[in-house]
Amino acid sequence: MTRPAVSQAESILRQRTPTPDAPAPPLLSVDRLTVDVATDTDPVRLVEDVSFTLAQGEVLGLVGESGCGKSVTAMSILRLLPEPPIRIAGGAVTFDGLDLAHMPKHRLRQVRGSRIGMIFQEPMTSLNPTFSIGWQLDEALRLHTGLRAAARRARILEMLRQVGIGAAEQRLRQYPHELSGGLRQRVMIAMALACGPRLLIADEPTTALDVTVQLQILQLIGGLQRETGMAVLLITHDLGVISAFADRVAVMYAGRIIEVADAAALFRQPRHPYTTALLAARPRLSGARGALAAIPGTVPPPAQRPPGCPYAARCPRADARCTAAMPPLAGEAAHVVACWHPVS
C-alpha cells in the first residue's frame, strides 16, 4: 500500500530528535490497562487490556474512530476521570518509574502539569472562563515551581511568545471568550509546556480548528518537541497527521489496542482489517475520482460489545473463530496485531 499524501507540515515535522541507539527503559508504560464505569446494574468496561510503551523523545500516535476509547485511555493515564464512578479495574501505568495507577491523589497532582502536560480537545471548555489567561498560566507555575512572581511573569510572557501569541502583555489580561479558537489552543499549549514536562499528551489538538490553523498548531507542537526532546502521545483520527508526525502508531478499536507498528510500516503494510479499512477510507489528493470508501456499521458502544473480536461484525474476513474469542496481540516486536486472520 502506498503511503498517503500528507500536508506541507511533513517536511517540518519529520525533522525529529534522533532516537538513541542504546535501548533504554520506556518513559511511559501502559500494561493491560482496564477501566470500568459503575452503573445501576453491572460495571461497564470502557477500555480493556490496553498496552503500549512510549520512549523519551518519541511520538506515539493513538488512532481510531470516535468511540474507540482513545480519550478515556489518555485521561486514565493521569486519572482525570471521576473516581467513582470510573475506576482502573486492572493493569498498570508507569511513568518514569512512578506507578500512576495506584499513586495517592496528592502525589499525582505533583506529576500533572509539571512532568506530564496535557492539551485537551476543546480549549474553550478546558480554560476557566472566570479567570484571565495570565492567572491561569501563572497557576501551574505557582503550584509546581519555586519561582517568585516576577520570574513567573517573565516565564509566562516567554511561553506566550514561544507559542506564537503576539501582544503577550495584553493577552495576560484577557479572558478565554476574548480569544479565537486558534489562540485559545496556543494558550493551552503554553500551559501544558510551562513547567517543562517530559511527556505531552495531546488529545485531538486540532479539533474544531480551520485547516490553516491546524497546520500552524501542528508545526508549533512539532517544533517544540524537537527543541525540548519531550515524548508525545498524540491522539487523533486524522491519518494524515499521524503519517507526518508519529514515529509509531497504535490503532484502537472498541476499547482495545488491535495493532501497533512503526508509522512507515503501518502505512506501507497494515495487518489488521480495521487498519486496512481506515487507510482505504482516507481522502486522497491524487488518483481516480469517486466516492470515498466507507466502513459499514458503527463502533459498538461499551455496554454492547460482543464476545470475541469486536470488529467481527464489520469485517469481511471474520468467521466463527472471530466471534468466539478475542485474539491476542501477536507478531514481531516491531509490528503486533490482534487478529485471527491478519492481512498478509
Same domain as 205, residue 102: yes
Please report which confidence band the pLDDT of residue 2 belongs to, taking 50, 70 and 90 as the band edges. Answer: very low
How far apart are alpha carbons 184 and 136 in whole angstroms? 12
Residue written as grid cell 538513541: 20
CB crowding 218-244: b at 16 or more within 10 Å, else e: bbbbbbbbeeeebbbbbbbbbbbbbbb
The parent domain of residue 164 ranges over 126-194
How far apart are alpha carbons 64 and 86 in whole angstroms? 22
- Mean pLDDT over 194-198 rounds to 90
62 in Cβ contact with 73 (< 8 Å): yes
Higher pLDDT, 16 or 300: 300
- Mean pLDDT over 106-121 rounds to 90
Same domain as 203, residue 283: yes
Share of the chain above pLDDT 90, in %: 61
Q: Domain boundary at 166, 194, 222, which? A: 194
Same domain as 167, residue 272: no
pLDDT tens for residues 49-101?
Answer: 999 999 999 999 999 998 899 999 999 999 999 999 999 999 999 999 999 99
Same domain as 205, residue 106: yes
| Average predicted confidence (pLDDT) for the chain | 88
Residue 13 has pLDDT above 80, yes or no: no
Please report which confidence band the pLDDT of residue 235 belongs to, taking 50, 70 and 90 as the band edges. Answer: very high
Please report which confidence band the pLDDT of residue 23 belongs to, taking 50, 70 and 90 as the band edges. Answer: low
Same domain as 203, residue 182: no
How far apart are alpha carbons 195 and 144 in whole angstroms? 7
Please report which confidence band the pLDDT of residue 288 belongs to, taking 50, 70 and 90 as the band edges. Answer: low
How many domains in the chain?
A: 2
- Mean pLDDT over 145-168 rounds to 91
Residue written as grid cell 516565564: 155
Residue 5 has pLDDT above 70, yes or no: no
Same domain as 137, residue 181: yes
How far apart are alpha carbons 106 and 293 in whole angstroms? 48
Residue 122 has pLDDT above 80, yes or no: no
Higher pLDDT, 91 or 161: 91
User: Within a domain: residue 80?
Assistant: yes
Same domain as 179, residue 46: no
